[in-house]
Structure 1
Amino acid sequence: MAKVNLSFEEMWQRIISCDRNYDGCFYTAVKTTKIYCRPSCKSRKPKKENVQFYKTKTEAENAGFRACKRCKPDIELAPQEELVSEVISFLTCNYKEVITLESLSLHIGVSPFHLERVFKHVTSESPRTFLEKVRVEKAIHLLKNTDNTNLEISLKTGFKSTSTFYKAFKNSLHTSPSEYRKQWRSSQI
């Protein structure tokens, strides 16, 4: 499974937004109910102080938690959905890496053509477009929570150059990273 490089706060935000893109990257366990869930679970959200995160289902189960009956994190998906879930998990957890369709298909164990066709069929976008969205999402988090420069953010989020970063950011949000940060900070006053 893909490695998880998320802070507690980032994982908390993912479960609050029921982000299915992180399913398989980590599991959320609630101390008071002794239940663990996928990040996308639609169940009522627990208090932050009652939450623990685990990298695998096995870790959560070994810690004494049982699978949620609503999101069923212990049940495997249909083959196409499983493939897409694995790709999404890998891209989401390894967004900083240089990832090509060929390297991704080698990791997943299918041909590049099959991988892209199935991914587009299930998600209506290419793996590359999805990866770009993940990187922009990470950049937004850094713009809001750090004083890193745009260059530092572009490098930390896996963009090969600042021009690629600016273009992806502008295509996604119709504004530059600097303008986004300025608007966000002014809205926090």
Structure 2
Amino acid sequence: METMGFEEMWEKIIACDKTYDGLFYTAVKTTKIYCRPSCRSRKPKKENVRFYAHREEAQTAGFRACKRCRPEAERTPHAALIRSVSAFLLREHKQALSLRDISAFAGVSRYHLERLFKQETSETPRSFLEKIRVDKAARLLRTTDRGSLDICYESGFRSPSHFYKAFRRLTACTPSQYRRRSADSGDAAACGTDPAHPPKEVVVRE
């Protein structure tokens, strides 16, 4: 959660973005319930929301788990490992990370990590990281006037060609088209597919 501010996390819960499940939790002060970002329950008023990096923090603060999205449930024996790796990728998305780097952090072999990560999320660690970077870039395009090249490096991409290719694949438009159409329509998904709603959902199971 270190790399996400309140507004960015608010966008994720409004979008019911499963990419960030397990990376932070939403707590509602009026109901005293906490949820996953992807929870489909009725959205609370913004002023009643608090965010926590860990579910234990929400529980200690007096919030109880949502019965609909069950954020307290551990569904597989590998959930904690995948959650830790996902948080690492979010936190270090600006760094040049190889699969070797990621597996070293996880303390398991590259093959074992890739197999477990894909089993849990339907994505490889590298494709998951790429989606985080595109998501970060899309938000910068929507909320700042920074140039595409600057945004490319700020979001963690090492080359403009990789940035443009990945961005177009996940949003169905170029960065400049995304910015223009988003500004014209006020719709982040104006180009077709918003990174918050990827064609193939990334589900980090808890």
Give me the TM-score of the superposition, normalised by structure 2.
0.81
Q: Does structure 1 conserve the Cα–Cα contact (< 8 Å) formed by 2:23 and 2:86?
A: no
CA–CA separation in structure 1 for the residues paired with 2:26 and 2:120: 25
What secondary structure, in the 3-state scheme, does the structure 2 residue paired with 1:79 have? coil
Cα RMSD after superposing both structures:
2.1
Q: In structure 2, what is the equivalent of residue 51 of structure 1? A: 49
Correspondence for 1:15 among 13, 21, 28: 13
Gaps spanning 5+ residues in structure 1: where?
none
CA–CA separation in structure 1 for the residues paired with 2:87 and 2:75: 14
What secondary structure, in the 3-state scheme, does the structure 1 residue paired with 2:181 have? helix
Determine whether 1:136 maps to 2:168.
Answer: no
> 5 Å matches for 1:94-105?
94-105=92-103
Could you report, residue by residue, the CA deviation over 1:124-167 in whole angstroms, capped at 9, with x for unpaired residues? 43221221122111111111110011122112111112222122
What secondary structure, in the 3-state scheme, does the structure 2 residue paired with 1:11 have? helix
Taking only the aligned residue pairs, the percentage that are identical comes to: 55
Higher RCO structure, 1 or 2 (CA under 8 Å, sep 6+): 2
CA–CA separation in structure 2 for the residues paired with 1:68 and 1:93: 26
CA–CA separation in structure 2 for the residues paired with 1:37 and 1:144: 27
Shift of 1:119: 2.3
Aligned residues: 187
Gaps spanning 5+ residues in structure 2: where?
187-206
The structure with the greater share of residues assigned to helix is 1
CA–CA separation in structure 1 for the residues paired with 2:22 and 2:122: 20
What secondary structure, in the 3-state scheme, does the structure 1 residue paired with 2:153 have? helix
Give me the TM-score of the superposition, normalised by structure 1.
0.87
CA–CA separation in structure 2 for the residues paired with 1:28 and 1:8: 11
